[in-house]
Every structure is written in C-alpha cells, then in structure tokens.
C-alpha cells in the first residue's frame, strides 16, 4: 500500500499594502471643511441703529405702519403703545431680508389691522343691519388681502436674494445715511449738474418771443378751430337765424337744419355747465330744462 503524502496547509501571505485601495471606514472631516454655525441673529436687529437697513428707511416704514393702526381716543395711552409694539413685533417676526420684504410686511400688517377694526365694528352690534354687514364683508376682504400678502412674502423668501444667502449683516451707518434731506439735496445737485451740462452742450435755437400780434393770431386760430369742431357735421351754410355770437332763437316751426343746430347748441351748453360745476366740486349732471319758442339758445 503506497504511503500517502502528508499535506500541510500553506501559511497565508500578508497582503501588500495598497495606498490606492479605498477604506470602508468613514473619513474624519477636517476642522476647516466643517460648516461654521451661523451666529445668532436677533430678529429685532432690523430696528437697531446699526442694523441691516438704513435708519431713515426703517423710520419711515415704522411711521407708515403705526399710522395704519386703529387708535381709539378713549383708551389709555398704554394700550395704544402696546398695540404699536405688537405691530413692530409682528413685522420682525416676518424676518425681512431686504427693503422690499419690509414693505410687503408693512402692507400685510396694515391689512391685518384693517380686518380687525372692521370685525370689531361689524360684530359689536346687537342686531346686524346694512352697515354692519358691509363692515363684515370689508373685514373678510382685508383678511384675504393679509393672507395674500403673507403668501407673496413666503414665495419671495423661498428664493435666494442676489446677495449672499442669509440674513443681512449689520452695518455702520454714517450721519449722511441717517439724514434723508442731505441725501435728497445731494441727488438734486447731481441732477442739476447733469441738466446744466446737457444744456451747455445742446446747441438749440434761441427761445421764441411771442408778440401781441402773434398771440392774437393764435387766439383767433384756436377760436376758429373750436367753432369748426362744434359745428362739425352741420349744414351751417343753409341754416338761417344764427346770431353773430353763435346762438339762435327757438322758432315755432324750425327747419331740419335749424333743429339740428339747436340740438347741438343745447348739448354744448349742458357740457359747458357740467365742466363749470366740476371746477366747483359738483359732479352731478345738469338738470334738463324745457325749451320753448322764443328762448335764446347761446
């Protein structure tokens, strides 16, 4: 019987280190690559003197918002101050990122206070009537406006601004930034300088000097053009009885040309009367007056 050869298992050879092989262990991020935590930003910073927005802009925005608040003269001053402070807290809660979002927030809060005031007027009555139901309808409309303004602000805040993402950083505002009058004076000086420079470079003809004869001719031309427009479509050449001033006396049996002319003069008279009343603040139509034979139609 042949002798079986003994087999001994070969010792495992150590694997050569491969620097290119990927390790399954998660790599520890470097300290520099970790995102830095955003520093806390107080939402009331928009009202600070050195906040992200110009002090003059925020002062005007606050003034506009406070002027929309419903104020009751009979309530204590502390209640009015509390309402104004609550409105400012509501504006800060919207987290506006630029001046446009501040204006949207002011409009939204104005609509909210309008709805609240109309709810109070429409609901604080024992039995509803025409006035109360009208105020309730107005309150519902203002409430829908408030919701629409909030949705518009939310849609805008979803998109990043053109500036880096995040809340705007505080700024150091100079005294010129806090003085709107100085800013407007500076802009006025710039506009005047540009206009003067353009006027110096503009080679135009000298201004026209109107003489009394030229003014009289212009008035005569305008008067003739007005009469032609008033008599457009009428047969003036075959219309008898026209007075020098353009008027006519109503006859017993006018011809078709005279009837058309009288109707045109009556309509022009009512139009002139309506325009004169509008200058006096009266917007009602003139009363139609009867016309009798012998009346003078100017």
**Average of pLDDT values for 45-63?**
84
Asked whether residue 182 carries a pLDDT value surpassing 50, the answer given is yes
Q: Is the pLDDT of residue 113 over 90?
A: yes
Question: Three-class SS of residue 296?
Answer: strand
> Stretch 56-72: mean pLDDT, rounded?
87
Res. 114 pLDDT band, cuts 50 70 90? very high
Taking the C-alpha atoms of residue 140 and residue 255, their distance in angstroms, rounded to an integer, is 61
Q: What is the CA radius of gyration of the chain?
A: 41
Average pLDDT over residues 130-136: 78
Q: Identify which of 169, 192, 146 has the alpha carbon closest to the alpha carbon of residue 98.
A: 169
Residues 6 or more apart in contact with residue 274 via CB below 8 angstroms: 285, 286
- Look at residue 104 in the predicted model and tell me its pLDDT: 94
Q: In this model, does residue 44 exceed pLDDT 80?
A: no
Mean pLDDT rounded to a whole number for the chain: 78
Q: Work out the average pLDDT over 234-241.
A: 82
Which tokens go with 123?
Answer: 């609901």
What is the per-residue pLDDT for 162?
A: 62
Q: Give the SS3 label for residue 226.
A: helix
* Most confident stretch, 182-196, 213-227, 230-244: 213-227
Structure tokens belonging to residue 141 = 């409309």
The pLDDT of residue 187: 62
Note the pLDDT of residue 146: 94
Instruction: Please answer whether residues 112 and 148 qualify as being in contact, where contact means their C-beta atoms are separated by less than 8 angstroms.
Output: no
Does the pLDDT value for residue 105 go beyond 90?
A: yes
Q: How confident is the model at residue 150 (pLDDT cuts 50, 70, 90)?
A: very high
Residue 176 has pLDDT above 70, yes or no: no
Q: Which region among 43-52, 208-217, 242-251 has the lowest average model confidence (pLDDT)?
A: 43-52
| Nearest-angstrom CA–CA distance, 280 and 278 | 5
At residue 20 the predicted structure's pLDDT band, cuts being 50, 70 and 90, is very low
Instruction: Assign 189 a pLDDT band (cuts: 50, 70, 90).
Output: confident
Mean pLDDT of 105-118: 93
pLDDT of residue 250: 86
Q: Is the pLDDT of residue 165 over 70?
A: no
Query: Residue 26: what pLDDT?
Result: 52
Q: What is the pLDDT confidence band of residue 4, given thresholds at 50, 70 and 90?
A: very low
pLDDT exceeds cutoff 60 at 151: yes
pLDDT given for residue 153 in this prediction = 92
Q: Which residue has the higher pLDDT, 166 or 67?
A: 67
Of 48-57, 155-164, 179-188, 228-237, minimum mean pLDDT range: 179-188
Contact call for residues 132 and 125 (beta carbons, < 8 A): yes
Calculated CA dihedral for residues 82, 86, 88, 92, nearest 10 degrees:
150
């Amino acid at each position: 019987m042949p002798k079986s050869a003994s087999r001994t298992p070969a010792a495992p050879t150590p694997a050569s280190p491969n620097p290119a092989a990927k390790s399954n262990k998660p790599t520890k991020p470097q300290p520099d690559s970790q995102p830095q935590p955003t520093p806390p930003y107080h939402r009331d910073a928009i009202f600070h003197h050195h906040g992200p927005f110009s002090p003059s802009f925020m002062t005007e925005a606050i003034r506009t918002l406070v002027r929309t608040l419903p104020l009751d003269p009979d309530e204590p001053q502390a209640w009015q101050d509390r309402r104004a402070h609550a409105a400012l807290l509501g504006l800060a809660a919207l987290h506006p990122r630029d001046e446009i979002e501040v204006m949207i927030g002011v409009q939204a809060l104005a609509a909210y206070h309008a709805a609240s005031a109309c709810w109070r007027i429409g609901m604080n009555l024992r039995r509803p009537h025409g006035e109360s139901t009208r105020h309730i309808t107005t309150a519902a409309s203002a409430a829908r406006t408030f919701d629409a303004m909030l949705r518009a602000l939310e849609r805008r805040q979803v998109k990043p601004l053109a500036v880096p993402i995040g809340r705007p950083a505080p700024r150091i505002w100079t005294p010129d930034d806090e003085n709107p009058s100085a800013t407007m004076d500076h802009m006025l000086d710039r506009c005047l300088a540009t206009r003067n420079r353009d006027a110096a470079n503009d080679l135009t003809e000298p201004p026209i000097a109107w003489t009394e004869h030229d003014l009289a001719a212009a008035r005569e031309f305008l008067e003739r053009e007005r009469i032609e427009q008033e008599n457009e479509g009428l047969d003036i050449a075959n219309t008898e009885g026209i007075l020098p001033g353009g008027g006519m006396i109503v006859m017993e049996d006018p011809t078709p040309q005279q009837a058309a002319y009288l109707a045109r003069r009556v309509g022009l008279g009512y139009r002139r009367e309506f325009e004169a009343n509008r200058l006096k603040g009266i917007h009602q139509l003139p009363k139609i007056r009867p016309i009798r034979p012998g009346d003078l139609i100017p």
